[in-house]
Amino acid sequence: MDAIVVDELRKRYGNVQALEGVSFAVRAGEVFGLLGPNGAGKSTTVKVLATLTKPDAGRAEVAGHDVVREPNAVRRAIGYVPQSSGVDRDATGRENLMLQGRVQGMSGRALETRVAELLDLLGLARSADRVVRGYSGGMKRRLDVGLGLVHRPQVLFLDEPTTGLDPEARASMWEELERLAEGESLTILLTTHYMEEADELADRLAIVSRGRVIVEGTPEQLKQSLRGEAVEVELADGRAAEAEAVVSGLEGVFEASIEGRRLHSRVASGARAIPFILSALEAEGIGVEAVTTHRPSLDDVYLHYTGREFAAEDEQGRAGDSGEDGRR
């Protein structure tokens, strides 16, 4: 059974088409990732699914309920953890969770037991009665997740759950989320612009770019869909088009593309191909500053299916962000 069904969602903000026909389905009980750069439309998709905004066209169901026709039923079935923290910094962790439970109609021993259970699950039991203002960034984010779980939702939306955390806190958060997925038996939809996060946490994922789903599958399936290994050449001059033509014509090169002064290619064996690539470029008088090779990654998947570098598009989306995901 699918816990989430998204069919041709479209949403426009002013002159920007944030969603341009987004479609995917999430099976009950799985962790599904929406991976894409800033401005790709991930948060807009989640806001539609959480009934925080209405789509211009298309349809979506969450836990069997239509998000437009049955918003109240959807809200009862979901937990939502937005990018910005919703905790009360002047209350304790326990008080935050108790208040959220009461808002959800819970009370008495059942609420107290649930709060204690979540504090333990999220590694916050020892800090439960401390004021949140003194929590670390990672602790506050775990408490945010707890707020979304108090009422035992069927579906949990995590919108960029580790943005702003340092690498150590992010890795710790990944461990907590993995335990959460195992212990709570719920469906999780995770949005992220961190490749390693999607690779680590998602059972399946959809790569989103410019308001569209480009490709979906398990992380391994997506990486294995690319033939061979990647070779990247940093060019010393501006002769990018010539370099692409030279490398594309070499035997054993499956594909080649240019992004700025970086030449991307896919080959059967990086170690064997590098000497031939460098020799061919040198013969044409094309200078090279650096060359690297690696096995397929989600970065390579993004480049292969969009023709654009993820990091560059992420930076562009961040620079153009005006408060709504999808505005570019």
In a domain, 310, yes or no: no
Residues 6+ apart with CB under 8 A from 39: 210, 316, 317, 318, 320, 321, 325, 326, 327, 328
In a domain, 271, yes or no: yes
Residue 234 has pLDDT above 60, yes or no: yes
Q: Residue 6 is part of a domain; what is its CATH number? A: 3.40.50.300
What's the maximum distance between 2 C-alpha atoms anywhere in the chain?
A: 79
Residues 54 and 193 in one domain: yes
In a domain, 306, yes or no: no
In a domain, 303, yes or no: no
Q: Above pLDDT 70, what percent of the chain? A: 97
Tokens, residue 138 = 């990672």
pLDDT at residue number 185: 78
Count of the separate structural domains present in the chain? 2
> Where are any strands of DSSP class E within the chain?
2-13, 16-27, 31-35, 57-62, 65-66, 78-81, 155-159, 187-192, 204-209, 212-217, 229-235, 253-259, 262-267, 288-294
pTM: 0.85
Residues 143 and 190 in one domain: yes
Residues 67 and 209 in one domain: yes
Residues 99 and 150 in one domain: yes
Residues 13 and 130 in one domain: yes
Residues 84 and 153 in one domain: yes
CA distance 203 to 116: 29
For residue 60, the Cα-to-chain-centroid distance in whole angstroms is: 19
Question: Where does the pLDDT of residue 173 fall: very low under 50, low under 70, confident under 90, or very high at 90 and above?
Answer: confident
What is the DSSP-derived secondary structure letter of residue 173?
A: H
What is the DSSP-derived secondary structure letter of residue 73?
A: H
Domain end position, chosen among 164, 195, 222 = 222
Q: Residue 237 is part of a domain; what is its CATH number? A: 3.30.70.100
pLDDT at residue number 323: 43
CA distance 43 to 32: 14
Residues 215 and 236 in one domain: no
Residue 326 has pLDDT above 50, yes or no: no
* In the block, residue with structure tokens 């869909």: 225
Residues 73 and 191 in one domain: yes
A 10 A CB-CB count for 302 gives 25
pLDDT tens, residue by residue, 246-288: 999 999 999 999 988 899 999 999 999 999 999 999 999 999 9
Tokens, residue 313 = 């598009």
pLDDT at residue number 124: 94
Residues 287 and 265 in one domain: yes
Domain end position, chosen among 204, 222, 240 = 222
Residues 138 and 279 in one domain: no
Tokens, residue 238 = 């501006």
CA distance 308 to 39: 14
Residues 243 and 211 in one domain: no
In a domain, 315, yes or no: no
User: Burial level of 175, CB count in 10 A (0-12/13-18/19+)?
Assistant: exposed
In a domain, 317, yes or no: no
In a domain, 244, yes or no: yes
Element of type H or E holding 112: helix 108-121
User: Burial level of 259, CB count in 10 A (0-12/13-18/19+)?
Assistant: middle
Distances (CA, A) of 157 to 13, 80, 95, 317: 22, 5, 22, 22
Distances (CA, A) of 4 to 59, 91, 187, 188, 286: 11, 34, 9, 10, 51
Domain end position, chosen among 222, 248, 282 = 222
* In the block, residue with structure tokens 């959800």: 104
pLDDT at residue number 164: 81
In a domain, 253, yes or no: yes
CA distance 95 to 92: 5
| Structural domain boundaries, residue 285 | 227-295
Tokens, residue 163 = 């943005």
Average pLDDT over the chain, rounded to an integer: 91
> Where are any strands of DSSP class E within 165-269?
187-192, 204-209, 212-217, 229-235, 253-259, 262-267
Residues 43 and 83 in one domain: yes
pLDDT tens, residue by residue, 73-83: 999 999 999 98
Burial 98-127 (b: 16+ CB within 10 A, else e): bebbeebebeeeebeebbebbbebbebeeb
